[in-house]
Amino acid sequence: MVTIPTIVVAAPASGSGKTTVTTGLIGALRAAGHTVAPFKVGPDFIDPGYHAVAAGRPGRNLDPNLVGTDLVAQLFTAGAAGADIAVVEGVMGLFDGRIRSDSTGSAVDEADAIACGSTAHVAALIGAPVVLVVDGSGHSQSLAAVLHGFLTYDTSVRIAGVILNRVGSARHEQVLRHACTRVGLPVLGVLRRDPSLAVPSRHLGLIPAAERSADAVAAVDAMSAGVAAALDIPGIMAAASERMPLTAAAWSAADVLAAETPETPGASDTPDTRAPGPGAAPVIAVAGGPAFTFCYTELGELLVAAGARVAVFDPLTDTLPEETAGVIIGGGFPEEHADQLSANEPLRHQLARHAVSGGPIWAECAGLLYLTRELDGYPMAGVIDAVGRFSPTLTLGYRDAIAVAGSVLFRVGERVTGHEFHRSVVVDDHPGEAPAWMWRDGTGRPSGHGHASREVHASYLHVHPAGHPAAVARFVTAAAAFGGSDGSRGAAAAALMPVDREGNAAS
């Protein structure tokens, strides 16, 4: 039974300051001697990066849309292991979740349409109380009515108190405190307007902590100090202790993979899910560094549990690690580093040769862009015969997708719920090539996306590995078959062999 004190930091709407308050609270608790387990509701990769800097341990995501409701409490229990308090940052407004609809666009179930994947939904799944961060800059006495609405909208949600953010003056604070008293909610902290606590942002939101390096650490330290001075830490700790006990067993990558039913060899068009045998641990090269910062914590745990050796490399400066048998390139911001990525010609040649040789590659979003011929005019790896372009249009949302081509990850017909989040497009795809996914577009018509072959799976869709452990196991098995136990057939064996745009060896 899990009874670790837990608080969920929510807000009436996006832009209220949840990330600043959550990151600062994590840092303040750590500075006070606590071991803090940080979490983020939803698919966001960026906020957990700041949480990790503040907590000194990985941030994790809790998203029922990506992993299913049954796994949320298990993933929370696993992530909270060894901590004495958990802090969960919400997503958007407290009750904002995914609206599931049928083919006509009508909500399938009203309760589900309101709550699925919302902060309120996740708080209920993990039995935790909520503290609301309110942007006080646009509020006065009417704040009481807003808070009354949140208190009565769904009485199953336990709102423990309010943190007043961006308060302008002592008089403003007095008025807002009176509004909170009117509805019986304690004020657990007051933060004055302070532009120095803001985290720099750009076209897709906050700049990831991994890109800012020392600046990110300094920003987290400032947030932690500001929050420690402004919040009622003992009051928040007391509220966190009033959580409901959880009976969910901790999620375990090893247990999940052990429970997978091995597929009969030759029965499908993809490798089976059995882990490689003893001594066959393939090296899986996982892209990291400033350009590729998006990665769920559970991916590394599943790779290791499936029998792989994980080697992180920075595509801006590195070549593939020795004995690389499989490559994973996740999300990030390659458009911000296109010149450096292009300048690393040895790595681009290695990736092209790896693909031509039949080496497995798994690429999501930024990884898809990196595998194209070029990105905004800069030459890329050329694994996929397409070009990437920055776009003024933001593409954002969950997608219910079906695999339409067998690959190193998914069998034909497998269904997933993934998430798109990009401001770029990939054009000039060959129409005859099989897409990775099909899903219905905004008009309800089926639409193909990404690229899939037996060796390469690349698309804009982010898929949470904990929701699809068999896909990770298939990838590791394919890498083991390609590279062998000594990696003699891996990409590093042909380390710097030049290749042309089609991936053929150059003379």
Query: Active-site residue numbers?
Result: 365
Q: How remote is the C-alpha of 221 from its chain's centroid? A: 23
Environment class of residue 242 by beta-carbon count within 10 Å: exposed (0-12), middle (13-18) or buried (19+)?
middle
Max distance between CA atoms of the chain, in angstroms, equals: 79
CA distances from 119 to 38, 100, 206, 470, 489 (A): 15, 16, 20, 28, 47
Question: 135, 159, 163, 136: which is closest to 149 by C-alpha?
Answer: 159
What's the rounded Cα separation, in Å, for the pair 393 and 422?
9
Is 451 in a helix, a strand, or coil?
Answer: strand
- The secondary structure element, H or E, covering residue 446 is strand 446-449
What's the rounded Cα separation, in Å, for the pair 326 and 324?
6
Alpha helix positions (H), 8-68 = 18-31, 46-55, 64-67
In order, the DSSP letters of 90-150 are --SSTT-----B-TTS-BS-HHHHHHTTSHHHHHHHHT--EEEEEEGGG-STTHHHHHHHH
Question: 68, 107, 93, 77: which is closest to 157 by C-alpha?
Answer: 93
Indicate left, alpha or beta for 167 from its phi (over 0: left) and psi (-120 to 50: alpha): beta
> What is the 3-class SS of 292-342, one letter each residue?
CCECCHHHHHHHHHCCCEEEEECCCCCCCCCCEEEEEECECCHHHCHHHHH
With the C-alpha atoms ordered 132, 29, 242, 81, is the resulting torsion angle positive or negative?
positive
Judge contact between 385 and 393, C-beta under 8 A. no
What's the rounded Cα separation, in Å, for the pair 207 and 495?
33
Place of tokens 């940052």: 89
What's the rounded Cα separation, in Å, for the pair 299 and 203?
26
Q: Which tokens go with 52?
A: 């990790």
Judge contact between 325 and 303, C-beta under 8 A. no
Judge contact between 299 and 326, C-beta under 8 A. no
In the chain, count H helices and then E strands: 17, 21
